Every structure is written in structure tokens, then in C-alpha cells.
Amino acid sequence: MRETIRALGHEHVSAEHASTFEVTSDDWLTPAGDCILAVEADRTPADFDDAFVDACQSHDATIEVAIEVDSGARTYEQVVTGRGHPDLTFEGDRSIVFRTSDYIDERTGMVGAEHAAAGFDRELVDALADGAELTLTIQVE
């Protein structure tokens, strides 16, 4: 099962956060938002199919987040794997956050992520800072 979100990079994308990465539906970003990869997301966790949410609510669920960034001149791709948890609710209506830790709130889309924002390829991050388009695909098995 999978869910897809499309969003846009922003001039303040720095991707320096050590424990999370995030995509938000907000249309703005301050330099303090160092975990945010993209803004103006076309969907949030609250939009996800109930069957997808149910599949993620297992300690045995493997969640894979595929990031594709199209700069126009080049496409960058990176995949981050983590796991599900029974307490994931996907009720957030503004953003989705992927965490290296086990912390969970209504925005959490994955725990135990392999890496956070700081682990993304710097060329991919630079493309997002230049306003590139991002496609984020979440797949659960």
C-alpha cells in the first residue's frame, strides 16, 4: 500500500535536523525549520486511506519513504526506511514528520527512520532550496 504527496522546495530549506524530516502543507518556511524538506504539500496524513493507516499500525510494518526531487535539469532520488507503530494515528492536518526516534504524535508518519533531514544528499537539498518539485511516496509492507 502506498500514499503519495507532492510539494515544493523553498529558499529556506536547509535539511540540517538530526532526528526528523518533514513535509508541510504550509506555504511558508522560516530558517528555523531545518527539518522541513518542502512546503505546499497537496495532502496531509489526515487525507490517507484508512487501510493504509491500519497497515502502518504494526510493530512489524516496514515503512519506506521515497523522495524524488525534480529540478528541471536533473532528478534526485533517495529512500529512507523505518517502521510502523500501533500508536501512529495519521491525524495531522498540516504536516507529516518522519522520526529517527520512537516519539509519536498526530503528525508522525514513521519511527526508527534510518536518518533525518541531515542525512539527505546535499545536491537534492540544494535543488529543494532552489524551489524544485518534490514527490514523496510512502509505502508500507
- What does DSSP say about strands 36-38 and 20-24: parallel, antiparallel, or unpaired? parallel
In the chain, helix, strand, coil percent, each to 5? 15, 35, 50
**Structural domain range at position 133:** 2-140
Confidence at residue 55, expressed as pLDDT on a 0 to 100 scale: 98
Domain count, the chain: 1
* pLDDT string in tens for the chain (141-residue length): 999 999 999 999 999 999 999 999 999 999 999 999 999 999 999 999 999 999 999 999 999 999 999 999 999 999 999 999 999 999 999 999 999 999 999 999 999 999 999 999 999 999 999 999 999 999 999
Query: What does the alpha-carbon distance between residue 69 and residue 120 come to, in Å, rounded to a whole number?
Result: 12
Strand order in the sheet with 75-83: 2-8, 133-140, 62-70, 75-83
Residue 84 contacts residue 56 (beta carbons within 8 Å): yes
> Using an 8 Å Cβ cutoff, are 104 and 111 in contact?
yes
Alpha helix locations (H) across the chain? 50-56, 122-129
Say which CATH number the domain at 21 has: 2.60.120.630
